Every structure is written in structure tokens, then in C-alpha cells.
Amino acid sequence: MPATSFYTDAAYDSQKSRPTLDSDLNVNDGDLSLDDLQDLEIAAVDPHNLAANNNRRSTDLVRLYLQEIGRVRLLGRDEEVSEAQKVQRYLRLRIVLANAAKQGDEVIVPYQRLIEVQERLSSELGHRPSLERWATTAGIELSNLKPTLSEGKRRWAEIAELTVLELEKIQSQGLQAKEHMIKANLRLVVSVAKKYQNRGLELLDLVQEGTLGLERAVEKFDPTKGYRFSTYAYWWIRQGITRAIATSSRTIRLPVHITEKLNKIKKAQRKIAQEKGRTPTLEDLAIELDMTPTQVREVLLRVPRSVSLETKVGKDKDTELGELLETDSVTPEEMLMRESLQKDLHNLLDDLTSRERDVILMRFGLSDGHAYSLAEIGRALDLSRERVRQIESKALQKLRQPKRRNLIRDYLESLT
């Protein structure tokens, strides 16, 4: 693989790196224009005003959150450029890693999978997972975890034409710079989020969605363009918040692009009704939105109508709709049968050797719900693919013996 230099400025398409605006929510942004954002200074916010319509507990949470983010000072222009360059150097390293994995590098592929598992677990748990949980989730022996990570990082550095120490330095600086930029701009998230209160989400939920947009802005920000980070981040924060509101505001969730088109149609309906004093036709809407009547009709037909489960139906109107609908939830009997089946399956596998049991558990996803391929099991257990197939075949042959098969015969018959 050709090496990539990490010490040159990244080249970005400003149109691609700039998010599309959500025009579905009519919010007056006059007090936070782009010109104002160019030299934005975010003042301290009174949590009582922000959470005036929330309960006392929510107010306390807002106060604590604002106190926490207020301890981090805003970044100056030079600091923004310096931190952003560190982030971009690290992200270019990640691109090289991903490209090597796509090309099937036999050292990089298992290494990247371990990194992805760790990042997923960290997101779910809110902290870095233990080595034991990391190895178990990845389907690898604990004793093989550190050697795989060490060898993968060495190979990563080799592809990037760096030493391992240089790679680790760029990695550490990039992650710290990303966290610093996010923390230093959380007050901007609050400033934008408070404009969208009372639209179906609590303030802290809006802040959370805006923070995800801020994180994306940190990754996409190009310091060579010359504008302040707050100017660029505002669009990503606003997009994250407005899309979250669009998603949560409906009983039946619609794709975001359909929601945006629907809101544009509603705005056009109101505008035409005010101007012409009548209900607009499909042709009127098509002309106003620069669409064809067929496209407008398709968007409107994509919007399902919600009906209350308490709606009275039937000839005598004495039955509620909810009473006629079949439930997909698990009944207590089914839950008990599943628990009993799980227990009997483990008892059945106790007759196998430890190696055979590991192969069967991984092959059929009986431990973590993920079924692994023969090659993946081979890498995890340090065996060849053919040897794993032989172990699987021998284990299944044992399990098919009548005395063992009868242990779960009742469960199999209940599924037919």
C-alpha cells in the first residue's frame, strides 16, 4: 500500500463538508447570524431562564451541566487551528487503517475489528471496557488480545511510514484535541438548543443531540478555510437538533428527507392560502416548490395516518381497535420456555470438550447472538479454517445422538 503523508494540510470540498440546512423548523435566527458567529463570545446562561418550563429536577440538572461546561474557557483562533490540525492528522491515520483493512491486510483486519468492538462497547457502557469483556465480545482469547493489538499497531505504523511511538503520539494528541474542542464549545450547543425548547424534547435532550452534531463538526472542520470554528459548528449543531425534533415529533417515524419535504409542502400550503384565499391545489404546490404534481402527491401519500387504539369499531361500536390487534410481545409462557431451552442447551454442551463447546457457541451465536464464520473462529482460537470445520462436524455428530437430541425434542416440536 502506498504511504500517506500526515503532515500536509487536508484538502476538503467545502460544499461536501458543509451540512445541508433543515428548513423545516421555523426558528428566528436573527440574534445569532453568521456575521455575529464570526466573533462569537457565548455569555453565561441563567439556568432558571433556560429551564423555566421544566420541573425542579431538570432545572438542577441544567444548572449542574452549565456549571461544568463553564469551567472550560473558549479557544482562541490560533488554538482552534492548532487543535483542528491535530484532529485531522489523527483522522488521516484512521483513513489509512480503514483502507488497509479494505484491502484485506491479514494483520490489520483483526486489529481494526478489535478497535471497532472497543469503541462500540465504550459508547454503550460510557467508559472503556475491561480487557476480559473486550476479548469476550470480540470472540478472542484474552491471552491473544494484547499480542493482536501490539502487532496490529506495529503494522499500522509501518504502512503509515511512522514509528510506533510517532503513531501513538499523533493518536493521543488527536483524541485529546478532539475532546478539548468539544468541551470548549459546549456553551454554543446550549445557546442553539435553547432556541428549540418546547418542541417535544427536553433541553438536555436537545443539548445531547446538538453535541453529536458538534462532534461531527470537529471531525469535518478545515482550519485552512479561515473562518472560526463556531461559525462552522453552528450548522452541524442545528442540523443535529432539528433532525432529532423531526424524528421524535411524530407518532410514526418518517425518513428525515420525507419529513423535510413534508414541512416544505406545509409551508407552501400556508403561503398560498394566505395569498390566494383558497386551499392550494397540487399544481399550485408544484409550482411553488419547483416540483412536479406527481412528486408532491408521492410525498403526501408517504405520510401514514395514525389512529387511536381506543377507537370504537364494529357495528355496535362496542369494541376498541386495540382489542382486535395481535400483540408481538413475548408471553410469560414463551419467556419461561426460552429460559428453560437456554439452560438445557448449556447442559447439552457440557458433554462436549471445551474446544468443541467454544466452536459451537461461536458458530451458532449462542453466547453473544452473533454467528461467526469458520475463518473468524479460526483466528479467535488460533486454528486453521479446516480444523475448525472438523471440530464443528465432530461436535454436531455427538449432539445428534438420540440420547442427547431427546433433551430438546420438545422445544423443536413446539416450534413446528
Cα–Cα dist 149/127, whole Å: 19
pLDDT, tens digit, 9 for 90 and up, residues 241-261 = 988 887 776 655 666 677 778
Q: Nine-digit cell at 131? A: 480487557
Please choose, from the candidates 201, 97, 191, the residue with its C-alpha nearest in 3D space to the C-alpha of residue 152: 97
φ/ψ of 319, rounded to 5, equals: -125, 135
Q: Quick one: pLDDT at residue 414?
A: 58
Is residue 192 a contact partner of residue 241, using CB atoms and an 8 Å limit? Answer: yes
pLDDT, tens digit, 9 for 90 and up, residues 120-154 = 888 888 788 899 999 988 888 989 999 999 999 99
The kind and range of the H/E element at 349 are: helix 332-349
Distance, first Cα to last Cα, the chain? 53
Per-domain residue ranges of the chain: 14-247, 256-301, 332-415
Cα distances (angstroms) measured from residue 53 to each of 28, 197, 198, 203, 248: 20, 9, 8, 10, 19
Q: Quick one: pLDDT at residue 326?
A: 66
In which region does residue 375 sit, left (phi positive, over 0), alpha (psi from -120 to 50) or beta (all else)?
A: alpha
Residue 30's Cβ-count burial label (10 Å; 0-12, 13-18, 19+) is: exposed
**Model confidence band, residue 338 (pLDDT cutoffs 50, 70, 90):** confident
Residue 403 clears pLDDT 50, i.e. is over it: yes
What is the average per-residue pLDDT within 334-361? 80
**Model confidence band, residue 38 (pLDDT cutoffs 50, 70, 90):** very low
Q: Identify which of 306-310, 359-363, 410-414 has the greatest average pLDDT.
A: 359-363
User: Which region among 107-116, 229-238, 298-307, 359-368 has the lowest average model confidence (pLDDT)?
Assistant: 298-307
Residue 392 clears pLDDT 50, i.e. is over it: yes
Q: Quick one: pLDDT at residue 17?
A: 43
pLDDT, tens digit, 9 for 90 and up, residues 176-209 = 999 999 999 999 999 999 998 888 788 888 999 9
Q: Quick one: pLDDT at residue 344?
A: 76
Residue 51 clears pLDDT 60, i.e. is over it: no
Residue 54 clears pLDDT 90, i.e. is over it: no
Q: Quick one: pLDDT at residue 26?
A: 43
Cα–Cα dist 189/230, whole Å: 10
Count CA atoms within 13 Å of residue 125 on its CB side. 12
Mean predicted lDDT score pLDDT of the chain: 79
Identical fold for domains 14-247 and 332-415, yes or no, is no
pLDDT, tens digit, 9 for 90 and up, residues 55-102 = 555 667 778 877 888 788 888 889 999 999 999 999 999 999 999 999
Cα–Cα dist 62/208, whole Å: 12
pLDDT, tens digit, 9 for 90 and up, residues 282-331 = 898 989 888 888 888 888 877 666 667 777 777 777 777 776 776 666 66
Please choose, from the candidates 84, 80, 86, 22, the residue with its C-alpha nearest in 3D space to the C-alpha of residue 220: 84
Residue 170 clears pLDDT 90, i.e. is over it: yes
Residues 79, 82, 87: CA angle, nearest 5 degrees: 120
Please choose, from the candidates 95, 75, 80, the residue with its C-alpha nearest in 3D space to the C-alpha of residue 11: 95
SS3 state at 231: helix
Q: Nine-digit cell at 336? A: 419461561
DSSP for 180-206?
HHHHHTHHHHHHHHGGGTTSSS-HHHH
What is the average per-residue pLDDT within 1-12? 37
**Model confidence band, residue 349 (pLDDT cutoffs 50, 70, 90):** confident
Asked if CATH classification 1.10.10 holds for the domain at 256-301, the reply, yes or no, is yes
Residue owning grid cell 469483556 = 133
CB atoms closer than 10 angstroms to residue 179 = 14
Which CATH number is 14-247 given? 1.20.120.1810
Instruction: Name the CA radius of gyration of the chain, rounded.
Output: 28
The CATH architecture of the domain made up of 332-415 is Orthogonal Bundle (1.10)
